[in-house]
Amino acid sequence: MGDTAVRVENGVTEKGVEEELQFATITAQAGFCKENFISHTGHGKAICTASIYEFESLEEHMAAAHTYRRCGHPNSDDMAHAIACLESAETGLATSSGMGAVVCTVLSLMKGGDTVLVHADTYGGTNSLFEEDVRRFGMNVEFVDVLDVVALEVALSRCKETDSGDGRVLVFCETITNPLIRVADVTAISSVCKRFGALLVVDNTFGTPLRSKPLLQGADLVVHSATKFLGGHSDLIAGAVVGSNKLVEQAKAVAVRWGLTISPFEAWLCTRSIRTLQIRLERAWTTSEKLASRLRDEKHGILAVNSATKCAILSFLVVGGLHGAKTLIKTLRFIKFAASLGGVTTTVSHPASTSHAYLLPEERERLGIHDGLIRLSVGIEDFEDISNDLLRAIRAAAAPTPDK
Ligand SMILES: *Cc1c(COP(=O)(O)O)cnc(C)c1O
């Protein structure tokens, strides 16, 4: 195969992205490389399912990029490389899921006795990972409103006071919160973290690298649930960690030991999907912004709308609480009720009974995750169709019920 270690393709090198290529070019070229591993004529790489690799000599084995699939394979390299380019990272690691990515970062950076400050309303799975497992492994876990820089400073000073000397502090947050769509000021958060010598890991799943690049704003590592926008078609589960060579290598060692690496098919599918990331996102963002303003204009039936520019997720509060939410979901025609998000089809979810069901009712109320809150993941269908379906359901939810 010759020198497969050098990967320079279409101006995109292993070190990152050369200045002149734009996001649209980088995404469209994801995974297209000249040294196609199996077929020299195919436009794009084949799926390499081998779990073992064979060698003529010990020397060849020792110099090989791949030996056993859990430790890495060509499709995983392509996906990791593509996401690292999108995030302007030195390197990347593809994982079996978004949760796999979060686990790798925490286990590689932290040890028993260290402290993790987790943003109070992160993704439910992340929250319970910290609450259940990270705590059980002997780390101090505190839930803080990391997006409130003053609250973060207070929490970090408290850590400093109680620290016996060698304890590490890790701050974990998301670029945009779910389901209330609060946007993190990563630059401000990272400068506070740096002042206190704390590490910062940012989940950029909702932000997407087209909107925000947390590494350029001072984050130490970025994680993704590629299951969402990067995959984009609701047909794969995958994750990624990107950052400096040193930290990603450490995360990769954990992923290999704990079996959190990705399968060839999922990696191939994800890389394929990334090629349309920008056009999918731009379309969904435009629709989402138009929908948010139409929902705000809707005088009856909606109590609040949470949205941000360049974000395909929005949430709104319907009147009638749980009953209103149930009616809305039942009345929708083509918009489906599904717990996940980030696909080409528009879906709704009910955070209080799905992603945030693990919280106590009073805790949900305190955070603003009321029973009437609906989260919308905007797809790429026609704007008027989405809007009509949604407004019809909102009006049905707001209509007085005969039995009341
Ligand atoms: C879905 C999600 C995760 C978990 O990802 P999986 O791919 O389901 O493991 C983590 N963070 C955020 C923000 C998510 O939306």
Listed by start position, the domains of the chain span 8-275, 278-398
Closest CA to 359 of 154, 170, 179: 179
CATH number of 278-398: 3.90.1150.10
Query: What pLDDT shows up at residue 38?
Result: 45
Predicted confidence (pLDDT) at residue 3 exceeds the cutoff of 50: no
Cis peptide before 179 (omega within 30 of 0): yes
- In the reported structure, the alpha carbon of residue 126 is separated from the centroid of ligand 1 by a whole-number distance in angstroms of 8
* Architecture field, domain 8-275: 3-Layer(aba) Sandwich (3.40)
How does pLDDT run across 223-235, given as a tens digit for each residue?
999 999 999 999 9
Catalytic residues: 70, 123, 203, 228
Residue 351 Cβ contacting ligand 1 at under 6 Å: no
Percent of the chain with pLDDT over 70: 92
pTM above threshold 0.85: yes
Q: Is the CB of 205 under 6 A from ligand 1?
A: yes
Q: Is 99's C-beta closer than 6 angstroms to any atom of ligand 1?
A: yes
CA of 227 to the centre of ligand 1 (A): 7
Mean pLDDT rounded to a whole number for the chain: 91
Is the CB of 16 inside a 6 Å radius of any atom of ligand 1? no
Looking at the CA of residue 174, tell me the nearest atom of ligand 1. 13
Ligand 1 centroid distance, CA of 326 (Å): 25
Mean pLDDT value of segment 123-129: 92
Report pLDDT digits (tens) over 244-259: 999 999 999 999 999 9
Residue pointed to by tokens 């949470």: 306
H or E element, residue 120 = none
Nearest atom of ligand 1 to the alpha carbon of 99: 9
Q: Residues 175-197: pLDDT tens digits?
A: 999 999 999 999 999 999 999 99
Q: Which of 121, 226, 227, 224 is nearest to 182 (CA)?
A: 121
> Nearest Cα to 89, choosing from 208, 228, 245?
245
Check residue 11 and give its pLDDT. Answer: 44
pLDDT band for position 300 (50/70/90)? Answer: confident
Say what the pLDDT of residue 75 is: 95
Residue 388 has pLDDT above 50, yes or no: yes
Predicted pLDDT of residue 30: 86
Strand 115-119 and strand 169-174: the pairing is parallel
Does residue 84 surpass a pLDDT of 70? yes
Q: Which atom of ligand 1 is nearest to the CA of 237?
A: 7
Given a cut of 50, whether residue 42 has pLDDT beyond it is: yes
In this prediction, residue 43 has a pLDDT band, given cuts at 50, 70 and 90, of: confident
Quick check: CB of 266 below 6 Å from ligand 1?
no
User: d(Cα 383, Cα 120) in Å, to the nearest integer?
Assistant: 33
Please tell me the distance between residue 60's alpha carbon and the centre of ligand 1 in angstroms: 38
97 in contact with ligand 1, CB cutoff 6 A: yes
- Is 248 within 8 Å of 241 (Cβ atoms)? yes
Q: Would you state the structure tokens that stand for residue 347, as one six-digit string?
A: 């879906």
Residue 53 CB partners (closer than 8 Å, separation 6+): 64, 66, 67, 68
Q: Give the distance (Å) from ligand 1 centre to CA of residue 64.
A: 33
For a ligand 1 pocket test, name from 119, 123, 341 the mutation site with the most ligand atoms within 8 angstroms of its C-beta: 123
Report the alpha-carbon distance of residue 354 to residue 49 in Å, rounded.
Answer: 35
Determine the distance separating the centroid of ligand 1 and the alpha carbon of 217, expressed in angstroms.
22
State if residue 114 touches ligand 1 by the CB under 6 angstroms criterion: no
Query: Does residue 331 sit in helix, strand or coil?
Result: helix
Overall average pLDDT of the 304-328 stretch: 97
